[in-house]
């Protein structure tokens, strides 16, 4: 678990602290990678600060046995920090670092990017859809080595508060069942 934490801290430092060279490095990439790279850098440099609050992991009863669900942690407490840019068209881009208690009561480290689009007026309750692309490190998967993940996002946003839900499907040989995970974001700026 100690090496897992060191890897996550190293990834966060590289991702968040070394952003100035990343701008120049984006120009050195292939054209198809230049645009996503610049979007990440722009989001980090120009985004507002957010507090992430982790809270609940529902282990779906149709993919888990009752005995296994009773063993798992549903209180996925944790937190993190993010930077978000809201676009004129209602889309939002977020870069984040999130750490929470996984299903086995161990830390799960997440560093990534999220994109969401929203419907409705910004000063009212809004529904949104999007995705997240991240690097995850958990003790029980790949011996703690970080691995990439792409997941859907469903959200509800009002003023400075956004509640997100994502669905983590069952992957044979990797996890035991599907999970509906809920977390929140509070805009600080």
User: Could you list the active site residues?
Assistant: 59, 102-103
User: Pick from 109, 98, 113, 115: which is nearest to 44 by CA?
Assistant: 113
Closest C-alpha to 138, from 96, 105, 172, 109: 109
Q: Concatenated DSSP letters for 59-78?
A: E-TTTS-HHHHHHS-----E
- Helices and strands (H and E) in the chain: how many: 4, 8
Cite the DSSP H helix spans in the chain.
2-12, 19-27, 31-46, 66-71
Diameter of the chain by CA atoms? Answer: 52
Residue 12's nearest CA partner among 111, 94, 80, 98 is: 111
Q: Which of 151, 183, 147 is nearest to 167 (CA)?
A: 151
How far apart are the C-alpha atoms of 135 and 166, rounded to whole Å? 15
């Amino acid at each position: 678990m100690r090496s897992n934490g060191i890897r996550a801290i190293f990834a966060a430092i590289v991702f968040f602290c070394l952003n100035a060279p990343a701008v120049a490095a984006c120009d050195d990439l292939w054209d198809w990678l230049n645009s996503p790279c610049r979007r990440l850098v722009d989001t980090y440099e120009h985004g507002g600060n957010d507090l992430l609050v982790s809270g609940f992991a529902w282990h779906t009863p149709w993919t888990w046995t009752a005995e296994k669900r009773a063993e798992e942690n549903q209180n996925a407490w944790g937190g993190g920090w993010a930077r978000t840019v809201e676009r004129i068209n209602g889309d939002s881009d977020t870069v984040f670092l999130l750490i929470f208690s996984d299903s086995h009561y161990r830390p799960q480290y997440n560093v990534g990017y999220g994109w969401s689009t929203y419907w409705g007026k910004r000063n009212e309750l809004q529904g949104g859809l999007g995705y997240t692309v991240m690097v995850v490190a958990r003790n029980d998967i790949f011996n703690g080595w970080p691995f990439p993940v792409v997941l859907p996002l469903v959200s509800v946003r009002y003023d400075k508060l956004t509640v997100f839900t994502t669905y983590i499907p069952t992957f044979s040989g990797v996890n035991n069942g599907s999970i509906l995970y809920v977390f929140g974001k509070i805009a600080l700026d």
